[in-house]
Structure 1
Amino acid sequence: MPFTITREEGTPVYTLRKKCGSIGKHGLLVLLSLLAVFPLYWMVVSSFKNQGEIFGTAFWPAAPTLENYTYAFEQMPISRMLLNSFIIAIAMTALQLLTSILAAYALTRWQFKGRGILYTMLTLTWLIPAQATMIPNYIQVNEWGLQGNPLAIVLPFAASAFAVISMYQGFNQFPRALIDAARLDGAGEWQILTRVVLPPMKATISSLGILLFINSWNEYLWPMLVTKKLESAPIQIGIKSFVSSDVNMWGSLMAATTISCLPILIIYIILQRHIVDSFMKWGIK
């Protein structure tokens, strides 16, 4: 028989290769993390640069200044627009959670003809780009007389196919025996939903709510179409006001963008574990 040399676990060669592989993986992760964080760092640093330094390559301003922040607060009502963004994002998240819970519960617990077709059609609507529905939504909002009203931003996003599909998966995994037991005890559908089904699914609902809130906060194109005044617009619309065909106020733009990112950053720091868990959970699904 030919003589072979095996490198078993625990040998110096195997240990060295394992350490080198681990160092290489961690080094790659550090590099990718730096690439992801660097634009945010550059945004914050640029917000403290004057107009002469804004196009420079220095990693830190030679003479840090707050002029960009002062100009941003003078040019637009940042505090009011941040409040608008919070109200709009919370309203959209609450409505999407409510409609998705009711729709997913009906699809999973009630047997009726066409249920599979209905769920398939609902799934296919998720593939339709939002731009394809903007014109019908815009016409409908004008017919309702909501042009310039925050409700014009919220109502077209009151339901989300992504949210319904996500809750549908969660309800499918819920034990049917508990629901049958509650029905035998005389509980109605609303009592079963609120007292039996929803309490154990708080983690799932919270994770979905975090994702919906982040998506609502970052919404830009539709609010830009239906808002007329900065006082009733979210912060993302105000940021665009610093970019025009004549003059681009890059320093003030970076300052306003930094301010708009602070609320999400604070929320992320407070709910870091839940946000990471939600991304992992819905990413796996």
Structure 2
Amino acid sequence: MTTDVLAPSASRPARLRPRASARVAQGWEVRIGHALMIALSLVCVFPVYWMLVTSLRPPGDIYSTALWPDAASIENYAYAIRAIPMGRMLLNTFAVSAAVTAIQLATGILAGYAFARWKFPGSGLLMAAVALTWLVPLQVVMIPNYLLVAQLGMIDTLGSLILPHVASAFAILLLAQAMRSFPREVIEAARMDGAGHAHILWQVVLPNLRGTLAALSILIFISTWNEYFWPLLLTRTPENSVVQIGLQMFITAEGTQWGPLMAASTMASLPILLIYLVLQRQVISSFMKSGLR
């Protein structure tokens, strides 16, 4: 009796050792993963930090390697604002980026829903044609677009920066694929309740695609914000130009004005960082809600 009772208890620690060692190994894997993520985050954030630090250095200390200037100054910011119409350029860039984002989302939503829900003769061929336009580089359509804008009398206007970006093949393909993966049972239930296509699209489908729409908005906005070549080709005056053209004005044949350039780059980066943080919350919230369902 004594042997039978004590034998299991004596063997119990031996059985628990593999589980404990597995927990320890798993804990070390988590720690190593967190350490790698922190190291990679520092590598990604350091250039932004160095841009900010360089913008605060005095002109005579611009090439210093110190992690923080001995006497921080906003002289570079004041010079950048005096040298170029920074406020007007930021406003122009924001207006163009917001307009392009809204228009591409609208055309992508409508076209994506049509490709995802309607089957008509030639739909596959039309979808392939849209996908092929994504592979055409800007240099191929640059001259035709420029001639079209010139004939419309839109040279050196903000409308000329928006018109060639009315539709995006990437937005159409992404939204069409997202709508194809949407549960058909939900759509059929809405149709049985008497809902039309417009009601299904705006009241049923889109509220459940907020994560996709937010991610797509971030990509379109950042891509438009960073565009340089097309505004350089069409704009003639700084007042009708965008911030990327303004940054290029600090790079001349005589040399690069690193202090004002870093100050202007910091001012140009702040709006896009704020918009990214706001939309990132929407993406995470949408993914968490979809996972809870």
> TM-score over 0.5 for the alignment?
yes
* Equivalent pair of 1:208/1:278 in contact (CA under 8 Å): no
Q: 1:167 is matched with which residue?
A: 175
Moved more, 123-132 or 103-112: 123-132
Residue type of the alignment partner of 1:51: P
After superposition, the Cα gap between the structure-2 partners of 1:278 and 1:238, relative to the gap in structure 1 and judged at 3 Å, is farther
* Equivalent pair of 1:182/1:192 in contact (CA under 8 Å): yes
After superposition, the Cα gap between the structure-2 partners of 1:258 and 1:189, relative to the gap in structure 1 and judged at 3 Å, is same
| Partner SS state of residue 73, structure 2 | coil
Q: CA deviation at 1:178?
A: 4.7
Q: 1:92 is matched with which residue?
A: 100
Residue type of the alignment partner of 1:172: R
After superposition, the Cα gap between the structure-2 partners of 1:193 and 1:42, relative to the gap in structure 1 and judged at 3 Å, is same
1:240 matched to 2:248? The reply is yes
1:153-172 CA distance string (max 9 Å, x none): 11111111110011101221
Structure 2 residue aligned with 1:117, among 111, 120, 125? 125
Q: CA deviation at 1:65?
A: 1.5
Q: CA deviation at 1:188?
A: 4.5
> Percentage identity across aligned positions?
46
Q: 1:71 is matched with which residue?
A: 79
1:161-193 CA distance string (max 9 Å, x none): 110011101221234455455556665443443
Could you tell me how far apart the structure 1 residues matched to 2:232 and 2:158 are?
11
Residue type of the alignment partner of 1:9: R
1:41 matched to 2:49? The reply is yes
Q: CA deviation at 1:23?
A: 3.0
Q: CA deviation at 1:29?
A: 1.6
Q: 2:144 is matched with which residue?
A: 136
After superposition, the Cα gap between the structure-2 partners of 1:93 and 1:124, relative to the gap in structure 1 and judged at 3 Å, is same
1:107 matched to 2:118? The reply is no
Q: CA deviation at 1:152?
A: 0.8
Residue type of the alignment partner of 2:250: F
Could you tell me how far apart the structure 1 residues matched to 2:38 and 2:262 are?
26
* Equivalent pair of 1:80/1:231 in contact (CA under 8 Å): yes
Could you tell me how far apart the structure 1 residues matched to 2:151 and 2:121 are?
35
* Equivalent pair of 1:207/1:277 in contact (CA under 8 Å): no
Could you tell me how far apart the structure 2 residues matched to 1:32 and 1:25 are?
11
Detail structure 1 runs of 4+ shifted over 4 Å in the superposition.
Answer: 177-188, 275-279
Structure 1 residue aligned with 2:229, among 203, 221, 233? 221
Could you tell me how far apart the structure 1 residues matched to 2:159 and 2:286 are?
28
TM-score by length of 1: 0.86
Residue type of the alignment partner of 2:20: G
Could you tell me how far apart the structure 1 residues matched to 2:187 and 2:27 are?
52
After superposition, where does 1:263-282 map in structure 2 within 5 Å? 263-274=271-282
1:59 matched to 2:73? The reply is no
1:34-53 CA distance string (max 9 Å, x none): 11111001000000112222
TM-score by length of 2: 0.84
- The count of aligned residue pairs is 274
Could you tell me how far apart the structure 2 residues matched to 1:18 and 1:184 are?
50
Larger Rg: 2
The CA RMSD measured in Å over matched residues stands at 2.6
Residue type of the alignment partner of 2:74: L
Q: CA deviation at 1:236?
A: 1.4
Residue type of the alignment partner of 1:99: T
Q: CA deviation at 1:275?
A: 5.0
Runs of 5+ unmatched residues, structure 1? 280-285
Residue type of the alignment partner of 2:44: A
More helix by share: 2
